[in-house]
Amino acid sequence: MASISLCMIVKNEEAVLGRCLASTAGFADEIVIIDTGSTDRTKEIAREYTEKVYDFSWRDDFASARNFAFSKGSKEYLFWLDADDVIPEGELGKLKKLKARLDAERPDFVMLLYAVGFDEQGKPSFTFYRERLMRRCRSAVWRGRVHEAVTPFGTIWKEEIVIEHRKKKAADSERNLRIFEKMRAGGEAFGAREQYYYGKELYYHKRYSEAARELEDFLGRSDGWKVDKLDACRHLAKCRYGLSESKEAIKALLEGLQYGIPRPELCCDIGNWFFERQEFAEAAYWYEQALKNRDKSGMDGFIQEELRGYVPCLQLCVCYDRLGKKRLAERFNRLAEWFKPGTDACAYNRKYFEEGRK
């Protein structure tokens, strides 16, 4: 059977590292832990699972740290996790079956689903495919000081196996922006992915004008990934809203239509633009497109589960009610409740329709 090295970078993760490593039981043949300056019990916990614990001097460069971790992996395939990641029990079984297939089918690069947001019931609400398992070779190289990535290579698989990112402590909200601005101040040229994420960091910090400039520059580049460009259009629209430029926001959203079949997330954004203008027939059209295009198979980029069922149905309920189509409105409220049982919004709507029939 193909052998796998789990390679991790950690710092002050005593609260979650044991949970993470325990969730991988029986999967990895080798565990490599790179510590970038812990002052708690992180390394002590790591040594309970492996002797391969190494120190690495942090230099504001995630790719550098991950490449050092990969350099210490000795098995045929390299697999990575963050300390606050968890492999659910059912998904671990799928991973072990995937491992059993590696010898016969020999993929070079395997992408798995990464769940980074969760709803009130703890179910994944925000997911995307992420590089996770790759053959140990010269192409397995991380690039990017922040939001580092490995460019896909060779035979690429996508597997519907979910790794969950279950944080227990708040991240340093200034760290990424600080690194980007240090790069900019030092005259470092930004790659396409770095410029895209720099624009998003500026947006998160409500620096809308600067964010819009960076995102527009990114969209003008020829070397950006298509899924990143679509997301950049959505964030550019959010910047325009932040600047009270509603007409410019819809232009940014419509620019996203050039990147393939409209994704539900983009359809909902366009629907919301019309909804805010009380143009309910137009809004309903786009919410219905969100439902028609909700199939996730083979889809790259960020997947927001609520925008693929519950939210467009709830919005369609309101749109059709405003358009005087009560039966259709009630039908979509029932469908919204099917997607997400027990919400106050659906219960309120149900009572509203029941009282309307009296």
The C-alpha atoms of residue 115 and residue 120 are separated, in whole angstroms, by: 14
The C-alpha atoms of residue 75 and residue 116 are separated, in whole angstroms, by: 28
Q: Which of 95, 74, 118 shows the shortest CA–CA distance to 24? A: 95
Q: Is 31:131 a contact under the CB 8 Å cutoff?
A: no
Question: Which two structure tokens, joined as six digits, stand for 307?
Answer: 């925008």
The C-alpha atoms of residue 113 and residue 118 are separated, in whole angstroms, by: 14
Q: Which of 186, 188, 187, 245 shows the shortest CA–CA distance to 211? A: 245
Given this model, what pLDDT does residue 299 score? 65
Residue 38 Cα distances to 42, 56, 344, angstroms: 6, 10, 44
Residue 289 Cα distances to 207, 234, 273, angstroms: 32, 17, 14
Q: Which CATH architecture has domain 4-165?
A: Alpha-Beta Complex (3.90)
Cβ atoms < 10 Å from Cβ of 165: 18
pTM of the model: 0.91
The C-alpha atoms of residue 120 and residue 170 are separated, in whole angstroms, by: 18
Domain segments of the chain: what residues? 4-165, 175-356
Q: Going by C-beta distance under 8 Å and a sequence separation of 6 or more, which residues neighbour residue 101?
A: none
Given this model, what pLDDT does residue 168 score? 85
Mean pLDDT by 10 residues, the chain (358 residues): 96 97 97 98 98 97 98 98 97 97 96 94 93 98 96 96 92 91 95 96 98 98 94 98 98 96 96 98 98 77 93 98 97 97 95 86
Question: Which two structure tokens, joined as six digits, stand for 124?
Answer: 């994944």
Q: How far separated are the first and last CA of the chain, in Å rounded? A: 67
Centroid of chain to Cα 184: 25
Residue 122 Cα distances to 89, 329, 331, angstroms: 15, 29, 27
Question: Which two structure tokens, joined as six digits, stand for 93?
Answer: 């079984």
Question: Which two structure tokens, joined as six digits, stand for 29?
Answer: 């043949």
Q: Which CATH architecture has domain 175-356?
A: Alpha Horseshoe (1.25)
Burial of 168 (0-12, 13-18, 19+ CB in 10 A): exposed
Cβ atoms < 10 Å from Cβ of 258: 10
